[in-house]
């Protein structure tokens, strides 16, 4: 059991951190026994424990030793082994003298030190972990740090320190049993074909990009002969498309259903046509309006649902207005034939009030947290999380977007470089679990973009990872069930508490992965658990406790 000491106002973010690092914890209570104490405040001078981890840029009594506190500055980078992560709040460095061992560095200076103590150890970090988590889950990372799963690394570091101290650990991993991670395929539907766009900026823009732009792209080596000819053929076919004599090459649904071959995907559909929305920043806000809405796609919605796919709302004004959010949700719910659906905002618009507005509107989840300009981890994590200030709404972060990879005004990557960057995120998902959320837009497979071939290869790589594919709603529901698991302290004696896993919901499918770490043998056991009583799980937990000798002399601070 981890006892956590935190500052006033940090309880919400502490609770969320331990939903992501799902292990046994509770607010520190004097007189109780803890294997580990984690603190962003001070530490009781007579706390008995194997390991104390103290975070914070403020000096405290643990710094009153040779070396002590050094320089305090705002922000920076810290390194732990081969991992480098950004720090967004205050950062304190240390002189690092005496018997201390540097475990985290800021450039050449120690930003984290470990000192041995009788029967245990203390690790002192010069930043406030829970304020870092608050920043990541609310403001989010700047584009420059997008590729760093900062929050996931914070969890990894704390886990490593606990196991290195010889403390047994039980963790409910953020990954379904038998899988490396969850993967969610999503599609934002902005056009539903070019036939709806006659003599507007969409049509003229396509004609330019499919002819003049295609020749320029070909001359730079960014377009093959085959795709150049397809672009020109598509441009020439436009009159026949409008007349209904030729196939609409922007029609998205059949292509995605064929390529994804039974993988359930989520389609975010516009609730109201010809609405640009209010408070739209940037140039040409009127172009945010679309030429279709969900009420016109009854037959397509039926086909999608018959293939196991999900309908969500591609919101217009839900991000700033709960009232308009309810109107948009009602439109989407009618098409989905379910009120339990989610939203992703058109153009990824959001501000600090968005989670609260979406929760008040009644959405089950949001999937707007991501980047238009790049790929990566705006919230620093691959896990579904609860944004600050809400009670029920969960956030499915979006990680890889086609436009961010290939638009000339954004990353403008070659296929090889895009594959390398996406590969880094796939590897992170394989190592840390969580969910990898992909966004491919409706016309990205077609002329003049031709991003479909890359998408097919990307799906092939993800399939090889033993990933669990779910719709956005299914993935969020799985994480919601994981959040429903609780660790309960069952007090046998004042110095030998038992830890029990408690869950009162329905059967969890696919099952959770409960990992029992045995640091003395540097091994672990993974147990698939569907939330029902399990003798295997009870035996593993009992074995974990029997390996911990509670009679060991504990350190006193």
Angle at 39 between CA 36 and CA 43, to 5 degrees: 85
Residues 464, 315 share a domain: yes
Name the percent of the chain in helix, strand, coil, to the closest 5: 35, 25, 45
The answer to whether residue 423 is domain-embedded is yes
Backbone angles phi, psi at 395, to 5 degrees: -110, 125
Residue 530 covered by a domain: no
Q: Answer whether residue 416 shows pLDDT above 80.
A: yes
* Domain-located, residue 70: yes
Q: Is 212 in the same domain as 101? A: no
> Which of 425, 448, 478 is the C-terminal boundary of a domain?
478
pLDDT at 496: 56
**Gyration radius of the chain over CA positions:** 26
Whether residues 416 and 470 share a domain: the answer is: yes
Distance CA 455, CA 444 (A): 9
Q: Are residues 318 and 421 in the same domain?
A: yes
In whole angstroms, what is the distance from residue 392 CA to residue 217 CA? 47
- The number of domains in the chain is 3
Quote the tokens at residue 193.
Answer: 């074909």
Percentage of the chain with pLDDT > 70?
92
Query: Residue 212 falls within a domain, yes or no?
Result: yes
Residue 258 domain flag: yes
Averaged over 279-301, what is the pLDDT? Answer: 95
Q: Same domain for 133 and 143?
A: yes
3-state secondary structure 291-335: CCCHHHCHHHHHHHHHCCCEEEEEECCCCCCHHHHHHHHHHHHHH
Which residue, of 478, 509, 524, is where some domain finishes? 478
Q: What pLDDT is attached to residue 41?
A: 84
Report how far residue 254's alpha carbon sits from residue 445's, in angstroms, rounded to the nearest whole number. Answer: 11
Question: Do 186 and 133 lie in a common domain?
Answer: no
Which of 447, 478, 509 is the C-terminal boundary of a domain?
478
What is d(CA 511, CA 478) in angstroms, rounded to the nearest whole number?
Answer: 9
What burial letters (b/e) apply to 424-433, b meaning 16+ CB within 10 Å?
A: ebbebbeebb
Sorted by sequence, the CB contacts under 8 Å of residue 17 that are 6+ apart come out as: 129, 130, 133, 155
- Quickly state the pLDDT bin for 260 (edges 50, 70, 90): very high
pLDDT at 497 over 90: no
Say if residue 58 is in the same domain as residue 117.
yes
86 and 186 inside one domain: no
Domain CATH for 276:
3.20.20.370
Quote the mean pLDDT of the chain.
Answer: 91
**Inter-residue contact 159 to 88 (CB < 8 Å):** no
- Strands 51-55 and 36-39 turn out to be parallel
Give the model's pLDDT for residue 554. Answer: 23
Q: What angle do CA 303, 306, 311 make, to 5 degrees?
A: 70
Does residue 318 belong to any structural domain of this protein?
yes
At 31, the pLDDT band (50, 70, 90 cuts) reads confident
The answer to whether residues 53 and 144 belong to one domain is yes
Same domain as 188, residue 155: no
Residue 495 has pLDDT above 60, yes or no: no
The reply to whether 169 and 32 lie within a common domain is yes
Judge whether 375 and 399 are in contact, CB under 8 Å.
yes
220 inside domain: yes
Would residue 211 count as lying in a domain?
Answer: yes
Q: What is the pTM (predicted TM-score) of this model? A: 0.94
Which domain does 442 fall in, by range? Answer: 182-193+250-478
- Supply the pLDDT for residue 545: 56
Which ranges in 5-149 belong to alpha helices (H)?
A: 11-20, 129-138
User: In terms of DSSP H, where are the helices of 82-170?
Assistant: 129-138, 150-164
What whole-number distance in Å separates Cα of residue 453 and Cα of residue 446?
Answer: 10
Residues 227 and 323 in one domain: no
Task: List the CATH number of the domain containing 129.
Answer: 3.40.50.880
Tokens of 414: 């070659």
């Amino acid at each position: 059991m981890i006892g956590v000491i935190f500052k006033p106002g940090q309880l919400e973010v502490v609770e969320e951190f331990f939903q992501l690092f799902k292990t046994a914890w509770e607010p520190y209570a004097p007189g109780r026994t803890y294997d580990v104490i984690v603190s962003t405040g001070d530490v009781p001078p007579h706390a008995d424990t194997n390991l104390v981890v103290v975070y914070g840029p403020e000096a405290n009594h643990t710094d009153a030793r040779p070396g002590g506190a050094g320089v305090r500055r705002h922000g920076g980078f810290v390194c732990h082994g081969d991992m480098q992560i950004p720090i967004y709040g205050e950062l304190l460095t240390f002189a690092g003298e005496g018997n201390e061992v540097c475990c985290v560095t800021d450039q050449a200076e120690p930003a984290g030190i470990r000192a041995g103590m009788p029967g245990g150890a203390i690790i002192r970090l010069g930043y406030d972990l829970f304020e870092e988590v608050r920043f990541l889950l609310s403001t989010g990372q700047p584009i420059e740090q997008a590729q760093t799963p900062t929050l996931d690394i914070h969890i990894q570091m704390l886990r490593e320190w606990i196991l290195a101290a010889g403390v047994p650990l039980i963790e409910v991993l953020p990954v379904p049993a038998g899988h490396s991670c969850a993967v969610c395929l999503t599609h934002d539907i902005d056009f539903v074909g070019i036939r709806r766009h006659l003599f507007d900026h969409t049509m003229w823009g396509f004609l330019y990009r499919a002819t003049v732009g295609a020749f320029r792209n070909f001359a730079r080596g960014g377009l093959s002969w085959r795709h150049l000819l397809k672009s020109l053929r598509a441009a020439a076919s436009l009159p026949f498309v409008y007349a209904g004599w030729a196939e609409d090459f922007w029609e998205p649904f059949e292509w995605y259903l064929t390529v994804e071959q039974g993988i359930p995907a989520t389609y975010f559909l516009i609730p109201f046509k010809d609405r640009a929305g209010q408070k739209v920043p940037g140039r040409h806000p009127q172009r945010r309006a679309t030429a279709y809405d969900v009420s016109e796609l009854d037959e397509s919605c039926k086909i999608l649902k018959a293939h196991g796919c999900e309908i969500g709302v591609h919101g217009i004004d839900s991000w700033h207005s709960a009232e308009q959010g309810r109107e948009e949700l009602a439109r989407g719910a009618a098409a989905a034939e379910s009120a339990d659906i989610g939203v992703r905002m058109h153009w990824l618009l959001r501000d600090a009030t968005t989670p609260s507005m979406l929760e008040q509107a009644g959405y089950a989840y949001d999937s707007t947290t991501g980047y238009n300009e790049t790929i990566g981890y705006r919230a620093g994590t691959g896990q579904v999380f609860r944004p600050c200030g809400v009670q029920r709404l969960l956030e499915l972060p979006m990680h890889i977007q086609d436009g961010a990879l290939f638009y000339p005004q954004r990353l403008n990557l070659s296929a090889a470089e895009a594959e390398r960057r996406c590969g880094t995120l796939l590897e992170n998902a394989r190592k840390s679990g969580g969910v990898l959320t992909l966004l491919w837009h409706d016309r990205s497979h077609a002329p003049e973009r031709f991003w479909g071939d890359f998408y097919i290869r990307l799906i092939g790589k993800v399939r090889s990872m033993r990933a669990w594919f779910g719709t956005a709603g299914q993935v969020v529901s799985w994480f919601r069930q994981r959040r429903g698991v609780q660790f309960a302290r069952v007090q046998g004696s004042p110095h030998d508490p038992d830890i029990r896993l408690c869950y009162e919901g329905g059967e969890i499918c696919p099952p959770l992965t409960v990992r029992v770490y045995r640091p003395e043998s540097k091994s672990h056991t993974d147990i698939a658990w569907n939330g029902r009583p399990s003798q295997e799980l009870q035996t593993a937990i009992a074995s974990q406790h029997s390996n911990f000798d509670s009679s060991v002399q504990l350190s006193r601070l």
